[in-house]
Chain A
Amino acid sequence: DIQMTQSPASLSASVGDRVTITCRASQTVSMYLNWYQQRPGKAPKVLIYAASSLQSGVPSRFSGSGSGTEFTLTISSVQPEDFATYYCQQSYSSPRTFGPGTKVEIK
């Protein structure tokens, strides 16, 4: 199975800050990497697919990059509604696996 790791596990940010989350895979997943946002008590929501493509309806302050084993999710200017937990997930091979999540909290 492909293991996914994320760093940091949590971070505190102020509204307007630039936030970067890193995701690493234990072996290559090529570009088969998605990012999800989950607010407390809610279902996950896809933000980025295929490493860098923005899902329809998602604000352009979200962006993704990377390929192979290392990926990043960037929020260019964090807004109040962005405080949530973010998960990376690989669709390269079965079982599809998620990272452990990064919780973005208000400073």
Chain B
Amino acid sequence: EVQLVESGGGLVQPGGSLRLSCATSGFTGVGYWMSWVRQAPGKGLEWVATIKEDGFEKHYLDSVKGRFTVSRDSAKNSLFLQMNSLRVEDTAVYYCARESRKALIAVAVWDYWGQGTLVTVSS
């Protein structure tokens, strides 16, 4: 059974840092990109970052570039999000999600999600 479990959320002051972790099980990291998607309280979903299975190719939402760093440890089946210079507007539930490529056109779809971890940025 595929499982993703996030941890590391909490309350932090503006300008502070936090490191989120996502422990995965039930599948090997080979062949799967992994992503972070967030949801501000009462708002919609917003993609944050994606990392390729080899860990070398990474993509970020413009508003987090230079502040957030996504990484993975395939040996430990774990995904991370280092968040620095946090802003009030980064307050959200952060989900990790597995990305699969499906159909003949290899559409990228997030087919497994964790339960989310809440990050609150406030003074």
Verify A50–B107 contact, CB threshold 8 A.
yes
Q: Write 19 A-B pairs (CB below 8 A) sorted by A numbering.
A: A31-B105, A34-B109, A34-B110, A36-B45, A38-B45, A43-B95, A43-B116, A45-B113, A46-B111, A49-B107, A50-B109, A53-B102, A55-B111, A91-B107, A95-B61, A95-B62, A96-B47, A97-B47, A100-B44
In the assembled complex, B46 has its CB within 8 A of some CB on chain A: yes
Mark B88-123 against chain A: 1 for CB-CB distance below 8 A, else 0: 000000010000001101011111011110000000
Verify B105–A32 contact, CB threshold 8 A.
yes
Verify B44–A49 contact, CB threshold 8 A.
no
In the bound assembly, the distance between CA atoms of A93 and B68 in angstroms comes to 21
In the bound assembly, the distance between CA atoms of A88 and B15 in angstroms comes to 33
B67 neighbours in A (Cβ, 8 Å): none
In the bound assembly, the distance between CA atoms of A89 and B39 in angstroms comes to 14
Q: What is the size category of the interface that chain B forms with chain A? A: 20 to 34
Out of B45, B103, B109, which one reaches A87, CB within 8 Å? B45
**Which A79-107 residues sit within 8 Å CB-CB of chain B?**
87, 89, 91, 94-101
A91 neighbours in B (Cβ, 8 Å): 107-109
Verify A46–B44 contact, CB threshold 8 A.
no
**Which B52-99 residues sit within 8 Å CB-CB of chain A?**
59, 61-62, 95
Q: What residues of chain A have their CB less than 8 Å away from a CB belonging to chain B?
A: 30-34, 36, 38, 42-46, 49-50, 53, 55, 87, 89, 91, 94-101
In the bound assembly, the distance between CA atoms of A99 and B44 in angstroms comes to 8
B108 neighbours in A (Cβ, 8 Å): 32, 91, 96
A98 neighbours in B (Cβ, 8 Å): 44-47
Q: When A43-B115, A100-B44, A101-B44 are in contact, do A94 and B109 touch as well, CB less than 8 Å?
A: no
Verify A50–B102 contact, CB threshold 8 A.
yes
- Output the nearest chain A residue to B115 by Cβ-Cβ distance: A43
